[in-house]
Chain A
Amino acid sequence: MEIKGRKKKNTLMVSLKGELDHHTANQVRQYIDGILEDPTIKNIVMDIQGLNFMDSSGIGVILGRYKIISKRGGKLGVVNINAHIDRIFQMSGIYKLIKVYDQLDQALNDMGGY
């Protein structure tokens, strides 16, 4: 799993590349939570274009990060969802909590990251 993060104003942008399962979920969790120790970060935008596999462990990771930032009054957005991940998202009901964007720019605009 390759994870890249970048902070823009109060939004953390994270791009994930590889396979997100129970094994790699820990790595993603630790990486993001480490950055979230910075209390000025309110929002997270996850770009998952590079994810070529995800199972329900991914839902756990996203929900866990959502809980942290929603306590700060922030939002969580996901960019570049493919059809397979969309099916898992739909069955989990996660769309009630997170926002989905086609473009990274759109997500950042909405988060006030620009």
Chain B
Amino acid sequence: MEKINEMHIKFLSKSSNESFARVIIAAFASQMDPTLEEITDIKTAVSEAVTNAIIHGYEDGIGYVEMSAYIYPDKLVVEVSDKGKGIEDIEKACQPLYTSKPELERSGMGFTVMETFMDQLEVISGINQGTKVKMTKYIKNPRGKTEL
């Protein structure tokens, strides 16, 4: 299906940008007239992806996190990517409760939250090349649907 709109932003891997990314995606997605629950799901998944990029991708060093979002008639696609150290074993990283950083009190739930709150999740990663998380959320009654 045809893409209706898209946006791209790039920000430093600072934890204060986690809430910034949530506000941006919520504002962009609001064009589709999603429910409050759908917006919360998207914000939570984006928060997890951006947090992963900051603490795992760059391990608290500084780099750029990029977020792109695409609006289709029936769905929102969000990509969050970093140029950090990459994930060695994606399958293991996606297991619930697995964390490579238990000392940071991470719950190991990041990918599980993304998977649960979004409809599709794709993780592409290369060692020392970075990680890209692509998430899709179907919006049940998007504004565009009735107009098209």
Structural contact, B44 and A55, CB atoms closer than 8 A: yes
Structural contact, B43 and A59, CB atoms closer than 8 A: no
Residues of A50-108 whose CB lies within 8 A of B: 53, 55-57, 59-61, 63-64, 83-84, 87-88, 91-93
Chain A neighbourhood of B112, CB < 8 A: 56, 91
Structural contact, A22 and B113, CB atoms closer than 8 A: no
Over the window 88-114 of chain B, the binary record of Cβ atoms lying under 8 Å from chain A Cβ atoms (1 yes, 0 no) is 000000001100000011110110110
Chain A neighbourhood of B51, CB < 8 A: 21-22, 55, 57
Give CA–CA (A64, B103) in the complex, Å: 10
Over the window 36-52 of chain B, the binary record of Cβ atoms lying under 8 Å from chain A Cβ atoms (1 yes, 0 no) is 01001001100110010
Structural contact, B107 and A60, CB atoms closer than 8 A: yes
B5 within 8 A of A: no
Structural contact, B105 and A29, CB atoms closer than 8 A: yes
Q: Which of B43, B54, B97 contacts A22 (CB 8 A)?
A: B54
Structural contact, B113 and A56, CB atoms closer than 8 A: yes
Chain B neighbourhood of A92, CB < 8 A: 96-97, 107, 109
Give CA–CA (A92, B108) in the complex, Å: 9
Interface size class on chain A is: 20 to 34
B74 within 8 A of A: no
Chain B neighbourhood of A59, CB < 8 A: 107, 109
Structural contact, A23 and B18, CB atoms closer than 8 A: yes
Nearest residue, chain A, Cβ from B48: A55
**Counting chain A CB atoms within 10 Å of each CB, which of B16, B40, B55 scores highest?**
B40
Expressed in whole angstroms, the minimum distance between the Cβ of A50 and any Cβ of chain B is: 16
B116 within 8 A of A: yes
Give CA–CA (A55, B106) in the complex, Å: 11
Additional A-B contact list (13), CB under 8 Å, known A22-B55, A55-B44, A83-B37: A21-B22, A22-B18, A22-B47, A23-B16, A23-B19, A53-B19, A53-B43, A55-B47, A55-B48, A56-B113, A59-B107, A61-B105, A92-B109
30 CB-based A-B contacts, threshold 8 Å: A21-B15, A21-B18, A21-B19, A22-B15, A22-B18, A22-B47, A22-B51, A23-B18, A23-B19, A53-B19, A53-B40, A53-B43, A53-B44, A53-B47, A55-B44, A55-B51, A56-B48, A56-B106, A56-B107, A56-B110, A56-B112, A63-B105, A84-B40, A88-B109, A88-B113, A91-B96, A91-B113, A92-B96, A92-B107, A92-B109
Name A's B-contacting residues (CB within 8 A). Answer: 19, 21-23, 25, 29, 53, 55-57, 59-61, 63-64, 83-84, 87-88, 91-93
